[in-house]
Structure 1
Amino acid sequence: MKRLFGTDGIRGLSGQYPLTPKEVYRIGLSAGMVLRDHYKDGPIRVLLVRDTRESGSSLGRMLTDGLRDTGVDVFDVGVLCTPSVAYLVQAHQFQSGVVISASHNPPEFNGIKFFTRQGRKWPDVWEEAIESHLTKTLKKPKGVEKGRLIPSPQLVEDYESFLIKTLPHKLDLSKLRIGLDCSNGANYSVAPQILRFLGASVFVMGDKPTGKNINVRCGSQQTDRLGQLVRKKRCHVGVAFDGDGDRVIFTDEKGQVIDGDFIIGLLAKHLKSEKRLKNNKVVITVMSNLGLRMALVRLGVRIVETPVGDRYVSEAMRKNRAVLGGEQSGHIILGSYLPSGDGLLTALHVLAIVARARTPFSHIVGWMRKFPQTLVNVLVKERKPIPEMNGVQSKIDDIRNSLGQKGRILVRYSGTEPLLRIMIEGPTKKIIDQYASELVTEIESTIN
């Protein structure tokens, strides 16, 4: 059987395998069996949230039915961001959490992510156990009373209170004008509400989800319209979330994109100045810009590097006892508060810095300079090992040798989509774009 779990849970087109009603029920049944094997005594309670996709409710019902048929109690919060689970499972002692979401992907996609009672992604061995169950004929456990379904919308306020308590005492955002893009996703209600509670003037887009417009021409991956809003309304800063709220990307007052690398640099500098950068370490990924690496070195910060994926960043932070880590894509983990990335939590702490600085956001992040970077995705039909594609590997080696110490090249397969991702950094945009074009031509002729 093809492996179901990627780097961020199960993901696919809703209505197609493995996200058919029958298979999602079986996934729920299998997950319940894994939990019963691990927690043998007492009731098992699972927290469920989802984003705003049209398919979310039906998939949630099928998953819930499977879990309940193993005796698991399911507490259904409704629409709320993925990172809320990392807080709520710990605060209310749930044995597990589950999210129905496909994060930043288009609305026709959906997915399933499981969390441990510590607020981290399920370990590989648990995911493998689900896949093992799915290869067999599954039956409901005998003699087990069906679990309860408990609607739990009141937990939304609990999560909001948690976010506010992490902020400086009496934080006042009343002097900030904020452009906000909620991506028609999970943060469409909570984010504007909290920012206005803190006094900010908020100009919102992407806050009218229909089930079919999540991440469509909006959100952290498409910030052009947010930049226009920021300029039109003369905002101090723009904030864009992705569909499930675990990513955040900013724009400055000019509408220019401020990505995760800039935010990691800003937070590292801030935490170090306040002597709160535990162990003087920051965790970043292989995709992090060379400019961020140089900036962290100038700060005297030790860098820990991981593969792409917030679960790898989170695990490296745990092992190195670091309190800051993240990705260029906007997954930022503030480990003093949560073990996983939370876009709204990150946004609030960055806005706290902006409010106190009383200087343009472009100046605040301007201490760091990024190398020109190009990112290209190539659609692939199969995942051939890169070293086995002689022409492709030879071209990569040639580009790497040409760049020397003045740039980097990274080629890897996506963990969630049928894409081969190319990242090249170098001295000028013209040079790296030419290298990328040559490599894409070689890849397409070899793979496709």
Structure 2
Amino acid sequence: MTRKIFGTDGVRGKANSYPMTADLALRLGAAAGRYFRRDGSTPHRVVIGKDTRLSGYMLENALTAGLTSTGMNVHLLGPVPTPAIGFLTHSMRADLGIMISASHNPAHDNGIKFFGPDGFKLSDEAEAEIERLMEGEIDYARPENIGRARRIDDGRRGYMEFAKTTFPQGRKLTGLKVVVDCANGAAYRAAPDVLWELGAEVIAIGTSPDGYNINDGCGSTNTALASRRIREAGADVGICLDGDADRVIILDENGELADGDQIMALFATRWAESQRLKGNGLVATVMSNLGLERYLSGHGLALERTPVGDRYVVERMRAGGWNLGGEQSGHIVMTDYTTTGDGLIAGLQFLGAMVETGMRASELSVSFERVPQLLKNVRYAAGTEPLSLANVQSAIEAAEARLQGQGRLLIRKSGTEPLIRVMAECEDDALLTQVVDGIVAEVESAGVAA
């Protein structure tokens, strides 16, 4: 069954516009409640977290109304990281976990992500079935069976205590000065507290959310502020999270950036040396740099690629028995610890490597030389299909021919925004620019750009 409102990571859009409206959220909550409600006398439980967007209140209330109408008891956790929902759904024996967040998107967007009772994100098939239930008549609970809702104050603390257990046993961060940028998002309290409790001197930024400033000039998608603070304070390392803290970018003591590919390369070789790495490699998406693939191959390790989306990475990891995977954007999935990308725990693993080796961040954050990569986004008008146009297809075919044997080309529609993403990798910088700009120009000239 084809999904209509679910994308690569739940349901996402502009707040108060379809599909991110209160009435759709209410019906989505009711359908999800009906899908997950078990038979028997066991209480039916849902945990709901959110990031710091103003629209989170609206969607939280609407989802709660829909869920309780089908007999689900709702536990509201307030602002917590997305990975905390995966962890708490399983540890609290909930039937369902929901995170209200648009991740790295600006404040005017929002989204709804679902986690099953095992703490993992739902499959395409489960999402399609929830959509089917939305389109029909919802089987509401009898009056005496309507669910209850209450706020839970200790959910964040439970996740924080778990996060600390993933740090190398017997080690502390004493003596390390760490800048942590929380993007004015879901981890604005949890991340600084965990780092401080592990012994670090913490310089926290992006910890003053006002409902509108999430990801605004800060966080993993804009590291300039954190880079400047590192240099000003003489910090040892920076940890930059996104709005829901499921991704991380590491900055070294010079403020230089290491993306998810570099972080995964470090973890893979360290884990392989200590015989912790399962599957003799890692899982990443088609967006990961060719340099990562070459680096792993040089160490006798494999790179398994999936479509974009950490959910697809996790599905492949579970199917093949891998315990490390992620995305170039900074989703790092370590199934020994987590069920989804976890920026804080990935950051702790990097800090653990610093503590155990005594090496500076700059010595650990660059494992391989990246193949030059260029990514450009073209926004297109709703209702159009740019990739189906003959001139665009011809431009793509011509670009692939020019790159043959020299690099690779990836064209895809974003699963969360009306964007065509044009990415190429090639050692020849001039050729790289030519092929990407040529395709972008064709999409724009077709009259479908928004």
Q: TM-score by structure 1 length? A: 0.96
Name the counterpart of 1:175.
175
Q: Does 1:324 align with 2:324?
A: yes
Name the counterpart of 1:114.
114
Aligned partners of 1:272, 1:385: CA distance in 2, in Å? 43
Q: Taking structure 1 as reference, are residues 300 and 39 closer, same or farther at Cα in structure 2, changes over 3 Å only?
A: farther
Aligned partners of 1:138, 1:324: CA distance in 2, in Å? 40
Aligned partners of 1:233, 1:221: CA distance in 2, in Å? 21
Aligned partners of 1:124, 1:398: CA distance in 2, in Å? 34
1:36-75 correspondence to structure 2 within 5 Å:
36=37, 39=39, 42-75=42-75
Moved more, 427-436 or 244-253: 427-436
Code of the residue aligned with 1:16 in structure 2: it is S
Moved more, 231-240 or 1-10: 1-10
Moved more, 407-416 or 20-29: 20-29
Listed one character per residue, the Cα deviations across residues 344-375 of structure 1 (whole Å, up to 9, x for unaligned) are 11110111102222222222233311111111
Name the counterpart of 2:416.
416
Name the counterpart of 1:402.
402
Listed one character per residue, the Cα deviations across residues 396-440 of structure 1 (whole Å, up to 9, x for unaligned) are 222222223332110000011100001111114443223221211
Q: CA deviation at 1:384?
A: 2.2
Q: Taking structure 1 as reference, are residues 287 and 40 closer, same or farther at Cα in structure 2, changes over 3 Å only?
A: farther
Q: Taking structure 1 as reference, are residues 234 and 54 closer, same or farther at Cα in structure 2, changes over 3 Å only?
A: same
Name the counterpart of 1:161.
161
Q: Is the 8 A contact 1:52 1:210 kept in 2?
A: yes
Q: Does 1:88 align with 2:88?
A: yes
Secondary structure of 2:192's counterpart equals helix
Listed one character per residue, the Cα deviations across residues 99-141 of structure 1 (whole Å, up to 9, x for unaligned) are 1111111101111111001111122232222222322354633
Q: Is the 8 A contact 2:177 2:237 kept in 1?
A: yes
Code of the residue aligned with 2:31 in structure 1: it is S
Aligned partners of 1:144, 1:431: CA distance in 2, in Å? 68
Aligned partners of 1:199, 1:405: CA distance in 2, in Å? 50
Name the counterpart of 2:26.
25
Aligned partners of 1:43, 1:361: CA distance in 2, in Å? 48
Aligned partners of 1:34, 1:157: CA distance in 2, in Å? 30
Q: Is the 8 A contact 1:48 1:99 kept in 2?
A: yes
Aligned partners of 1:270, 1:86: CA distance in 2, in Å? 26
Name the counterpart of 1:100.
100
Secondary structure of 2:312's counterpart equals helix
Q: CA deviation at 1:144?
A: 4.9
Between the two proteins, what is the percent identity of the paired residues? 40
Q: Taking structure 1 as reference, are residues 2 and 199 closer, same or farther at Cα in structure 2, changes over 3 Å only?
A: closer
Name the counterpart of 2:8.
7
Name the counterpart of 2:35.
34
Q: Is the 8 A contact 2:83 2:339 kept in 1?
A: no
Aligned partners of 1:393, 1:400: CA distance in 2, in Å? 11
Q: Is the 8 A contact 2:70 2:141 kept in 1?
A: yes
Q: Is the 8 A contact 2:262 2:367 kept in 1?
A: no
Q: Taking structure 1 as reference, are residues 141 and 447 closer, same or farther at Cα in structure 2, changes over 3 Å only?
A: farther
Name the counterpart of 1:126.
126
Aligned partners of 1:428, 1:163: CA distance in 2, in Å? 43
Secondary structure of 2:446's counterpart equals helix
Aligned partners of 1:226, 1:433: CA distance in 2, in Å? 29
Name the counterpart of 2:191.
191
Aligned partners of 1:183, 1:121: CA distance in 2, in Å? 23
Listed one character per residue, the Cα deviations across residues 58-98 of structure 1 (whole Å, up to 9, x for unaligned) are 21011111101111011111110010111111112111101
Q: CA deviation at 1:383?
A: 5.0
User: How many pairs were matched up?
Assistant: 446
Name the counterpart of 1:355.
355
Structure 2 alignment gaps of length 5 or more? none
Q: Does 1:304 align with 2:304?
A: yes
Code of the residue aligned with 1:322 in structure 2: it is W
Code of the residue aligned with 1:230 in structure 2: it is I
Q: CA deviation at 1:447?
A: 5.2
Query: In angstroms, what is the RMSD of aligned CA positions?
Result: 1.7
Aligned partners of 1:428, 1:205: CA distance in 2, in Å? 39
Moved more, 311-320 or 10-19: 10-19
Listed one character per residue, the Cα deviations across residues 206-233 of structure 1 (whole Å, up to 9, x for unaligned) are 1100011001111111111111111111
Aligned partners of 2:431, 2:236: CA distance in 1, in Å? 34
Listed one character per residue, the Cα deviations across residues 24-43 of structure 1 (whole Å, up to 9, x for unaligned) are 1111111111112x555522
Structure 1 alignment gaps of length 5 or more? none
Aligned partners of 1:438, 1:234: CA distance in 2, in Å? 43
Aligned partners of 1:346, 1:373: CA distance in 2, in Å? 24
Aligned partners of 1:447, 1:362: CA distance in 2, in Å? 45
Name the counterpart of 2:437.
437
Name the counterpart of 1:210.
210
Q: CA deviation at 1:442?
A: 1.0
Aligned partners of 1:179, 1:140: CA distance in 2, in Å? 49
Q: Taking structure 1 as reference, are residues 366 and 35 closer, same or farther at Cα in structure 2, changes over 3 Å only?
A: closer
Q: Taking structure 1 as reference, are residues 364 and 398 closer, same or farther at Cα in structure 2, changes over 3 Å only?
A: same
Q: CA deviation at 1:143?
A: 5.1
Secondary structure of 2:104's counterpart equals coil
Q: Is the 8 A contact 1:97 1:115 kept in 2?
A: yes
Code of the residue aligned with 2:416 in structure 1: it is T
Q: CA deviation at 1:165?
A: 1.1
Aligned partners of 1:164, 1:2: CA distance in 2, in Å? 38
Q: Does 1:390 align with 2:390?
A: yes
Q: Does 1:238 align with 2:238?
A: yes
Q: Does 1:136 align with 2:125?
A: no
Q: Is the 8 A contact 2:3 2:127 kept in 1?
A: no
Moved more, 355-364 or 212-221: 355-364
Q: Does 1:369 align with 2:353?
A: no
Code of the residue aligned with 1:213 in structure 2: it is N
Aligned partners of 2:215, 2:420: CA distance in 1, in Å? 22
Name the counterpart of 1:265.
265
Aligned partners of 1:302, 1:203: CA distance in 2, in Å? 37
Moved more, 195-204 or 428-437: 428-437
Secondary structure of 2:405's counterpart equals helix
Q: Is the 8 A contact 1:424 1:436 kept in 2?
A: yes
Q: Taking structure 1 as reference, are residues 34 and 248 closer, same or farther at Cα in structure 2, changes over 3 Å only?
A: same
